A and B are shown apart, each in its own frame.
Chain A
């Protein structure tokens, strides 16, 4: 057997895997073994957090997944709020929802661009990357930055939304809902794309639960699980939205879940703008913020799945210990399960279908 096989390194730094190495063992063009090799971009986010105040941690903690920087900060501010005793005012909760959903769209469109180009559909690289600019512009209107927003702080958000934001956001969402229909025709229901993604990399419902998949990967296997619905946080229970679920568990189902989420996110943004109460956006204390002794846990639904923080405080301005649980890390256990016995040509379709973000998994 040993002479027959060939060991191949996919990544790090491309072709296709990013800052991550996938060691595959091939027999002909069939994958017989897979060893994911993470850790190239480990920066010790958890240890670093122990030397920084609750505010100074914010720019650092969003670095692991800059593409979804609000998603990774959301549970951090929820957990640290508990320790700092700074509940957010209602308006801030709605602004947070808008920002988190904008970021989900930005992240999904980036994924769609990459996925398109890796299944050989260059148009689906150019369209989402161009249209993503619309949502980045919206996020920039609120937060002033284009990628790393540093917008959520314990106690609320840093500033109110500008007056012209609601009109512009609704205009962009209305346009983009129509535009997504074109995406469906050219990509999601394109027979050539269906051939590459349907029935490829099947993750059964039981396996998905057992291997600990979260987010769109889990919902693509027919499990209706979303933290926004299961444990509503930050006024998500006031908003009426659906969770897209597909049963087949193949690459195409995982794509369709993300497409459905794009529609739902725009629906949520429109509702949040309408339902937003007036009032202050931040609950602030003067001086350095000190946590009360104790521990806090919070989890939210980020673009890639369940993101959770567990923070222990011993009454100092720094967290005593911070534990970060990221969704991408759970993809590692799925890779071996999905890639063995598949063709080499299907590796990009399966790997990118999981929306694995190496920097997030390495923390």
Chain B
């Protein structure tokens, strides 16, 4: 008897679920709204919560000190310091970090290492490419802020379950 009851209640649960909302995010028509990227305050020595996506490099602040490259050395070895044809007063040697996203694990320890507020992370996660070369981003590419996405949604929960709105 109880076997039948348990079986019916299991089937009943499955039928009830037909009237629940759909949790699936309809990507890429809509995008999850992620406000900001991870950043770090070297004065207070503590990070500020945010998404760990592609980096953003502020060329006018970077001094070419290579501390970010040293921090990444044994993690993924993906930062190389390259020479650029630009002149900024604070960067005498004109060297800036270039990041290979084929290796980067998005840990953000390079951001923690930068003492000059020059290297942060953004909410951009769409980095896929068809060849390995274009995964290497030059300092100039890194300095461009990500484009704002369309169709931003957020997760909501009501009594018919979670959904995106």
Contact = CB atoms under 8 A, between A and B. Distances in A.
B126 interface: no
Main secondary structure of the interface of B (DSSP, over half): mixed
A28 interface: no
B52 A145 contact: yes
A131 B155 CA distance: 12
Contacts of A137: 155
A187 B13 CA distance: 10
B153 to A, nearest CB: 12
A162 interface: yes
A130 interface: yes
A227 interface: no
A72 to B, nearest CB: 15
Contact of A160 (B12, B23, B46): B46
Interface in A110-147: 123, 130-131, 133-134, 137, 140-145
Contact of B106 (A134, A145, A175): A145
Given A56-B75, A158-B112, A185 B13 contact: yes
Interface string B30-60: 0000000110000001111111100000000
Contact of A58 (B47, B51, B107, B157): B107
A340 interface: no
Contacts of A148: 105, 107
A190 B6 contact: yes
Given A56-B109, A145-B106, A158-B112, A191 B7 contact: yes
A60 interface: yes
Contacts of A53: 74
A182 interface: yes
Contact of A282 (B9, B17, B46, B109): B46
Nearest to B50: A144
Q: Which of B49, B109, B155 is the most central at the interface, judged by chain A CB atoms within 10 Å of its CB?
A: B49
Given A59-B109, A160-B49, A172 B6 contact: no
A186 B109 contact: no
B151 interface: no
* Residues of A in contact with B, size category: 35 or more
B86 interface: no
B108 A186 contact: no
B3 interface: yes
Contacts of B13: 182, 185-186
B69 interface: no
- Interface size, B (range): 35 or more
A335 interface: no
Given A123-B14, A185-B9, A191-B7, A55 B109 contact: yes
A134 B106 CA distance: 21
B10 interface: yes
B146 interface: no
Contacts of B14: 123, 186
B3 A191 contact: yes
A137 B112 CA distance: 23
Given A59-B75, A131-B23, A189 B46 contact: no
B121 interface: yes
Contact of B49 (A142, A172, A192, A286): A142
Contact of A185 (B3, B10, B74, B108): B10
Contacts of A182: 13, 16-17
Contacts of A142: 49
Contacts of B108: 144, 150, 158
Interface string A54-91: 01101110000000000000000000000000000000
Contacts of B3: 191
A53 B71 CA distance: 10
B65 to A, nearest CB: 14
A138 B106 CA distance: 18
Contacts of A162: 49
22 contacts: A51-B74, A52-B74, A56-B109, A59-B109, A60-B75, A137-B155, A141-B49, A144-B38, A144-B50, A148-B107, A160-B46, A162-B49, A171-B157, A182-B16, A185-B9, A186-B13, A189-B6, A191-B3, A191-B7, A280-B46, A282-B45, A282-B46
Given A159-B46, A160-B48, 13 more contacts: A56-B73, A58-B109, A134-B155, A140-B51, A143-B52, A160-B46, A162-B49, A171-B157, A175-B161, A191-B10, A192-B10, A282-B45, A286-B45
Q: Which 6 A-B pairs have the closest CB atoms?
A: A159-B47, A284-B45, A144-B52, A150-B107, A186-B13, A59-B107
